Amino acid sequence: MSLSRWIRTPLLVLPLVLFLWPGTPVQASTVRESILANGMKVLLVEVPKAPVVTVQIWYRVGSRNEVMGRAGLSHMLEHMMFKGTERYPKGTFSRTIRKNGGNDNAFTSQDYTAYFENLAADRVELGLELEADRLRGLLLDEKEFQLEREVVKEERRLRTEDDPQAFLVESLFAQAFLMHPYHWPVIGWFPDLNAMTREDLKRHYDSYYVPNNATLLVVGDFKADALLPTITRLFEPIPNKPVPPPPAVTEPEQRGERRIIVKREAQVPFVMAGYRMPNYTHEDSCPLTILESILSNGKSSRLYRSLVYEQKIALAVGGEYSLLQADPELFYLYAVVKPGQKVERVEHALYRELARLQATLPTAQELQRAKNQVEASYIFGQDSNFRQAMLLGQAETVGAGWRHVEQFLERIQRVTAEDVQRVARRYFVEEARTVGILIPTPPPPKSAAQGSPQS
C-alpha cells in the first residue's frame, strides 16, 4: 500500500501495483548504474524527448521495518522530511521546488519510502541538492511533529476511517498476516500515532536514512557524464552506516480459510479474497503475472466478462498481484456487488473463475493477449519519466534489482498455458485464503441525526 503526502487516490484504495511486469522491450532505455564510495546506488536514464527530468530517491524502509506499537512510523517520518533542515527551514523545500517550476511529493509503502521532484531539465541540480541536504540534516522539531501528527490523523480519517472499502482492506491484511509486519497499515493505527515520539522518529531517521540504504534515480533530459560528478559531489561525502537487518519474521503457513466481516454504513457490499503468494524471488511469479492479466485486465478478462458482463452481478471487479514485494504478500480478487445482488453469489462467482483456471488451460488467444498487454504496458509506461523511474526504483528497493526488469520481460514471454494452470492449482487454495466482506448497514435513524447544528 502506498501513501503519498497529499495526492488523492481513486475510489478503490487498494495496495498499489505498478503496471504489470514489462514485456519484451522494443528498445529499453539504457540504465547507467553507479555505486558511490559510501554505497549509494545511482541509476541514470537519459531520455531526451522532452526538456524535463524526474529525480527520485528511494529508501529501503517502510511499514515492514516497523515494530508493533509504532505502526505508521515510516510514513510519519516521510511527512516530517518536509519540515525543515538546518539549512532549509520549514516550508522552504516545496516552495523552492515550486518557484523553480517543479513539483515534489513523496510516498510510503510497506517496503519503501520514496521522494521525488519533477523539474524542467535545467533545474535537475536543485532537486539533487535538496535531497542530499535532507538526507542528513533533518530538524525533527517537536512542535512541528505535534502539528504534523494531527495532519496524518486527518489523512487516516480521510483514507481509511471514512472509506468503507479501504477499512475492509486494512482489516483483511491484519487477518492475512498475523506475525509479519504486513499485518499493520502503512498509515498506522490511531493509538500508535498517538504514542509516537520525536525520539522514535529520530531513531528511524538515523537508522535508515543513510546513503547505503538509498537508490537515487534521475530519468529525463540530461547527460549522465555531466551529472554524475554533481551527484558524487553532493552525496558521496555523506557517511554510510550499517542498517538494521530486515524483519526476520516469516509468516507461517496458513491452515484454513480466515474470514473477516465489516459491518458499517455503505450502499453496496464489497467482497475481497486474498491468497498468500510468492514474490519476485520465486519462478512462479511470472506465470502468476500472466494469470493476473487473464483474470482481470480489461473488458475481455475473465472476471469482467463473467461477473459484470454476463451474470451482471458486480459493478466492478479486479485482481491484483505484485511480484515486486520485499516479502511474499497477497494476490487478491475483489468485486463491488451490484445493488440487489447477493454477496454470497458474487463471492462464489469469483471462486468459480479460479476453479475454471484450475480445471482447463487458458486458450492460446488469452495467453498471447496477456503477454501483449504486459509488453504494451511496459512501452506505454516508458512514455513517462516518472513511471519509468518508479519501476526501476521499486525493483531495486524491494531487492529484485533493476536488471530483473529485463529478465522478467524475457521470462514472461516463455510462460505456457500449463504454467498458468499449475500456479492456479498451487496457490488458489481455500486453506490459504483470507476473505473480507463489507456488509452495509442502514444509516442511523434520522431522529438521532438531527440533534445538531444549533444544539
Partner 1 sequence: MVALFLWLSLALMPVQLQAADINPIRFVLPNGLTVLVLEQHALPLVQIHALIKAGSAQDPAEKAGLANLVASLLDEGTGSRTAKQIADQIEFVGGTLAAQASEDFTTASARVLKKDTELGFELLADILRRPAFPEAELKRVRSEILGEIATEKDDPGQVAAKVFNELVFEEHPYRWPVNGTEATVPKITGRDILIFFLRQYRPNQTILTIVGDITVEQARQLVTKHFGSWKQGASPVRTARTPRPLEKPVVRLIEKDLTQSTIMLGHVGISRTNPDFYAVTVMNYILGAGGFSSRLMDSIRDNQGLAYGVGSHFEANLMPGAFFISLQTRNETANQAIAGVLTELNGMRNAPVTDEELADAKAYLIGSFPLRLDTTAKLAEVLSLVEFYGLGLDYFTQYPRWIERVTKEDVLRVAKQYLRPSNYALVVVGNLAKAKVTQKP
Rounded least distance, CB 187 to partner 1, Å: 10
- Contact string (CB under 8 A) for partner 1, positions 254-273, x = contact: -----------xxxx-----
Number of residues that bind partner 1 (CB under 8 A): 90
14-51 burial: b if 16+ Cβ within 10 Å, else e: bbbebebbbbeeeebeebeeeebebebbbbbbbbeeee
- Interface pick for partner 1 out of 85, 110, 306, 377 (rule CB under 8 A): 377
CB of 57 to partner 1, least distance (A): 17
Provide the strand spans (E) within 233-327.
258-265, 270-276, 314-321
Region from 37-45, 247-255, 371-379, 417-425 binding partner 1, contact rule CB under 8 A: 371-379
State phi, psi for 104 to the nearest 5 degrees: -140, 155
What is the b/e burial string over 349-376, where b = at least 16 CB atoms within 10 angstroms of the residue's CB?
A: bbeebbeebbeeebeeebbebbbebbbe
Rounded Cα–Cα distance for residues 233 and 132 (Å): 10
* Residue 338 makes contact with partner 1 by CB under 8 A: yes
Specify the pairing of strand 433-441 against strand 258-265: parallel
d(CA 295, CA 285): 15
The nearest distance, CB 250 to partner 1, in angstroms, is 35
Which one among 15, 22, 84, 102 touches partner 1, defined by CB under 8 A? Answer: 102
Interface mask (CB under 8 A) for partner 1, residues 67-96, using x and -? ---------------x----x--xx--xxx
Based on CB atoms, which residue is closest to partner 1, 52 or 57? 52
Footprint of partner 1 on 28-67 (CB under 8 A): 47-52
Cα 62 to the chain's mean position, in Å? 10
Show the cell assigned to 261.
466481516
Residues β-bridged to residue 218: 44, 55
Residues 106-135 that bind partner 1 (CB under 8 A): 118-120, 122-123, 125-126, 129
Q: Which is nearer to partner 1, 122 or 251 (CB)?
A: 122
Pick the closer one to partner 1 by CB: 93 or 427. Answer: 93
Catalytic site includes residue 129: no
Applying CB under 8 A, among 30, 37, 103, 225 the residue interacting with partner 1 is 103
Phi, then psi, of 92 in degrees rounded to 5: -85, -25
CA distances from 276 to 104, 196, 198, 322, 428 (A): 35, 31, 36, 12, 8
Burial bucket for residue 202 (CB in 10 Å: 0-12, 13-18, 19+): middle
Residues numbered 286 to 315 that lie near partner 1 (CB under 8 A) are: 297-300, 305, 308-309, 312, 315
Q: Report 392-451 residues binding partner 1 (CB under 8 A).
A: 443-444, 446, 449-451
Sign of CA dihedral 421, 433, 280, 368: positive
Q: Please identify which residue in 74, 382, 394, 434 interacts with partner 1, judged by CB under 8 A.
A: 382
Q: How far is the CB of 322 from partner 1 (least distance, A)?
A: 19
Among 11, 226, 248, 364, binds partner 1 (CB under 8 A): 11
Would you please indicate which residues are annotated as catalytic (active-site) residues?
A: 78
